[in-house]
Amino acid sequence: MTNIISSSSISPLICFFVFFFWLGHGGAQGIQHSAAAINGADKIRSQFLHLLRTRRSPQVPLTVEPSKPVRHPLFQQVPTPTFSEAMESCPKADTKNLKEQLKEENFYLHTEAGEQGRLPVLILSLKDSKQKRRPAVVFLHSTNKNKEWVRPLLEAYASREYIAIAIDSRYHGERAHNLTTYRDALVSSWIKGDTMPFLFDTVIPPFSFSLVDCKSLFLPFSSYCSKKVWDLIKLADYLTQRKDIDPKRIGITGESLGGMHAWFVAFVDTRYAVAAPIIGVQGFRWAIDNDKWQARVDSIKAVFEEARVDLGKSAIDKEVVKKVWDRIAPGLASIFDSPYSIPTIAPRPLLILNGADDPRCPLDGIKTPTKRARKAYAKAHSSNNFKLIVQPGIGHEMTSLMVKEASDWMDRFLKQ
């Protein structure tokens, strides 16, 4: 049976009529007054939403549809990975017969119309807990993998009294059909310009208003906008309504693509109280300007090859790279890049974990965002809430050290 979580919405056009009617009857003065109080974080979140609302499927009520465990998860890589020492190393509580003590939930969240609007969710938790409301941690998988891949991490967090959650990113896991689903979606995005599968589609929503939202128009407009995003935000909508989760203690982390997702959703949705992106934070524009884009491009090369041919180039160059980012993830290499989005996470706790020799996330490319983040956290009197850990001699790899540091970070801020 499908369980409806949210109420139906009304036409955005009606709400805009309400807004402009109010504006013409004295609301302008209030907007001007409140605009002075809108900070840079609100503004960039509002700009991000304004972009992303242009490529959405129609909204549907948020509903929950029960599903069954996935016995043979789809990996879009050959050979299929079978073991991760780093994930298996995640700190566990000394719980006898842990697997027997775990409660497993499998379901779909319907987040928007269309096939990709069906979000697969896996949740693990201890069956018997003395805590009425527990902290929650969302762990996001890397490119070509799936939610089942991160199960060892979910088990470890669950053993320590967390509600542990994983999802399949768009075009991955249960949202994929074959070994090329993600690659094909990227190429299609370049050709049609109708989706943003690389990063944004897993994070962001359509722009819509409910009756309650219309009332929010009487608040600073960009402050309202900053509270709405999609797959991971719809997940937050669901998690914050659960009676076994403390809505003020939800953390998010992830590996590689999952680390990028964790970075972006922490920037957009303040309900994620703690973030620890692993080998995900990078400077996209810096890489273009400094000719350090090759490793990132190679990770999803098909879309860049398609663009190269369309642009009449004999080889992929920085012009091709810039045009692809502008097409499939507008603003990723400009106004939403790490120097601008990372500082907006302050004052919420943020731990960035990277390898010193990572070619996809070059260390020099995050010097500026790190410097700006430290300034933002200092201004918010929360310098201890920001940390960068760079592991020497490590490339684009999630290590046991990174997993433990992220785990300790969550314990530090979510178990208070």
Q: What are phi and psi of 319, to 5 degrees?
A: -65, -40
Please give the structure tokens belonging to residue 321. 């790279």
19 is written with which tokens? 């807004």
The domains located in the chain, with CATH, are 32-203+223-415 (3.40.50.1820)
pLDDT of residue 135: 98
Name which of 319, 113, 305 is nearest 190 in CA terms.
Answer: 305
| pTM of the predicted model as reported, rounded to 2 decimal places | 0.85
Q: How many CA atoms lie within 13 A of 286 on its CB side?
A: 19
Q: Is 279 left (phi over 0), alpha (psi -120 to 50) or beta?
A: left
Please give the Cα distance from 248 to 410 (Å, whole number): 13
Report the pLDDT value the prediction gives residue 203, as an integer from 0 to 100: 65
Please state the three-class secondary structure of the chain as a single string. Answer: CCEECCCCCECHHHHHHHHHHHHHHHHHHHHHHHHCCCCHHHHHHHHHHHHHHHHCCCCCCCEEEECCCCCCCCCCCCCCCCCCHHHHCCCCCCCCCHHHHEEEEEEEEECCCCHHHEEEEEEEEECCCCCCCEEEEEEECCCCCCHHHHHHHHHHHHHCCCEEEEECCCCCHHHCCCCCHHHHHHHHHHHHCCCCCCCHHHCCCCCCECHHHHHHCCCCHHHHHCCCCCHHHHHHHHHCCCCCEEEEEEEEEEECHHHHHHHHHHHHCCCCCEEEEECCCCCHHHHHHCCCCHHHHHHCHHHHHHHHHHCCCCCCCHHHHHHHHHHHCCCCCCCCCHHHHHHHHCCCCEEEEEECCCCCCCHHHHHHHHHHHHHHHHHCCCHHHEEEEEECCCCCCCCHHHHHHHHHHHHHHHCC
pLDDT along the chain (416 residues), means of 10: 46 37 38 41 80 66 93 96 95 93 96 88 93 95 97 97 97 96 94 83 46 30 35 92 97 97 93 98 98 97 97 98 93 94 97 98 97 97 98 98 98 94
Say how far apart CA 181 and CA 300 lie, in whole Å: 12
pLDDT at residue number 415: 93
Angle, CA 91 vertex, CA 87 and CA 94 arms, to 5°: 130
- Count of C-beta atoms within a 10 Å radius of residue 20: 12
What phi, psi does 141 have (nearest 5°)?
Answer: -75, 170
Name residues whose C-beta falls within 8 Å of residue 24's C-beta, 6 or more positions apart in sequence: none
Contact predicate 258/154, CB 8 Å? no
pLDDT reported for residue 61: 84
77-111 tens-digit pLDDT: 999 999 999 999 999 999 889 999 999 999 999 98
CB 411 within 8 A of CB 162: no
